[in-house]
Chain A
Amino acid sequence: MKKGKARSVFIGVCVLPAVILFFIFMIIPTLNVFRMSLYKWGGISNNKEFVGLSNFKTLMGDTNFLRSFQNTVLLIVIVTIVTMALSLIFAAIISREKIKGENFYRIIFYIPNILSVVVISAIFSAIYDPNQGLLNSILGIFRGDKDPILWLGDKNIVVYSLIIAMIWQAIGYYMVMYMASMASVPESLYESADLEGAGKVQQFFSITLPLIWTNIRTTLSFFVISSINLSFQFVKVLTRGGPNGASDVFLSYMYDQAYTNSSYGYGMAIGVIVFLFSFGLSAIINVATKREPLEF
């Protein structure tokens, strides 16, 4: 009996602090996002009025929101496809070919991942600067000095400038991750494929990809979710939604509505949509990428 009590005390002391912090700073705020989305909640006067789903109705007709929706989807699709494809190919090349200085590349490619998004954004500001920028000065060699390209100032280009920065940031991390899982694919499979005359490309598609598929699946869902968040962090520093809202994404629009504009209820309604959207998306990815797991 005494032993049972000591055990309970031990469990309680160990688990309770974590549970309490987790509830206060994660569960309750998450529930609040949903609750607040049903209120019309102005900032300074701080009067809350229950309005049901009316925030969501307004959202559907809000062209700024729809544009941020479009930008987010565009970003997710391009950044995911390009980053996944390139990091898989690079990982396969580095781990399959006997590359000299493999470790050097691994170290260098991972660097963007340890830098703060603020730092990366500042670096890309220097690259994209229309007059003193690194990119325009290189391009200037080919196209002369005539009208510099406004990488962050042109509403048709700005999203792609963001996409490049995001791919630059993410590629090394996923490459190192895939290299780790490719290392567990047994060498003998490639040897027998070599004997049967399968080319490198064929080996990549019929040995490497299927065998690390589980890993690709998990990273894919997390990558999509983290792109939604990262795009927000990049937009916040690199473009601040500009020019004129052209580069706003989901969460930057939410943050501006809620924090800067003090329409908390409206902002949180956007939060709910983003929440459902990312859950839905990862569910779809989960189903769409389901394969029979292969053993080796």
Chain B
Amino acid sequence: MKKKKELSLNTLYRIFVYVVLIALAISIIVPVGWVFLASIKENSEFYGTNPWSLPKGFYIQNFIDAFEKAKMGDYLLNSVKITVMALIILLVVALPAAYVLARYRFRCSKLLNILFMGGLFINVNYIVVPIFLMLSDGDKFVKQITGSGFFLNNSFITALVYASTALPFTIYLLSGFFVTIPRDYEEAAHVDGAGYFRTMIQIMMPMALPSIITVILFNFLSFWNEYIIAMTLLTKDESKTLPVGLMQLTQAQRAAANYGRLYAGLVVVMLPTLILYILVQKKLTQGMSLGGLKG
């Protein structure tokens, strides 16, 4: 008798657990899915009607408007350009640095390790204004010589800032991996006559591939989604990135109530990250236990 009562209590508990989990899952799926549906609704479908009504048809004009009138197409190109450049700069700079900092002892190697660790606590949101002022001072100086600015509204410089601010976290993550490799590999390479550079590029880098992929994934997401730096450093319309363009759309929507275009823009920003996520979600959630923190 008692056994039976325990059993039903247990079932009740399990039902409760499922209800809560499903409710949380719904609270995530529904708003995201709703945006996809809203992006193919005509603007008139947003007025007076129930927001839950299904779209009447596939109104592709929203996407055409978003791309042409709201220039999301140009912003998309800028975003791709900056993200790719920033990732390349980051890898080229951070990989050798992480390797050397993890495996070589030299003068001030300890100090540098501490500094980069401390860099984990510096957040871009504090320093974006000084960076802006520094670049605008640089522009004033360049203008006297060439007549036009160089540092602001420059996608390469923005990519450089992205890569630099991602350095502490990336070096921290990569060094954490390099420390674990046994010394034997390097000694064997030395015996075979490989120099320092060759050892690093041909022996160590391939071994670090899983960590490198994790680094690329995390930084891709943060560069692609970043907008505080972009909004501050890229003020000219032709250099803006997708999230900044989306921000403009949300503000324009408040004034002109052009819903369809806004949701189409949202889909354009979300879709690449969602597709990437679905492809690599295992890698990403595993990588988290590696990093254990994020910036």
Chain A residues packing against B (C-beta within 8 Å): 6-8, 10-11, 13-15, 17-19, 21-22, 24-30, 32-33, 36, 90, 93-94, 97, 99, 104-112, 114-119, 121-127, 129, 132-134, 137, 168, 171-173, 176-177, 180-181, 215, 218-219, 222, 225-226, 229, 232-233, 236-237, 251, 254-255, 258-259, 264, 267-268, 271, 274-275, 279
Contacts and interface: CB of A to CB of B under 8 A. Distances in A.
How would you classify the secondary structure of chain A's contact residues: helix, strand, loop or mixed? helix
Contact of B270 (A10, A21, A115, A225): A115
A181 B293 CA distance: 13
A7 B161 contact: no
Given A109-B24, A114-B221, A219 B227 contact: no
Counting chain B CB atoms within 10 Å of each CB, the highest count among A111, A137, A171, A177 belongs to: A111
A273 B196 CA distance: 46
How extensive is the interface on chain B, given as a class? 35 or more
A24 to B, nearest CB: 7
Interface of B: 14, 17-18, 20-21, 24-25, 27-29, 31-32, 34-35, 38, 46-47, 50-52, 92-94, 96-97, 99-101, 104, 106, 112, 115-116, 119, 121-123, 125-134, 160-161, 163-165, 167-168, 171, 195-197, 200, 221, 224-228, 232, 243, 246-247, 249-250, 259, 262-263, 266, 269-270, 273-274, 276-277, 281, 284-286, 288-289, 292-295
Contacts of A112: 28
A168 B25 CA distance: 11
Nearest to B161: A25
B225 A118 contact: yes
5 contacts: A21-B167, A32-B134, A111-B28, A114-B276, A122-B249
Contacts of A225: 121, 123
A118 B269 contact: yes
A86 to B, nearest CB: 9
Contacts of B281: 107, 110
A25 B160 contact: yes
A137 B266 contact: no
A7 B126 contact: no
A97 B128 CA distance: 45
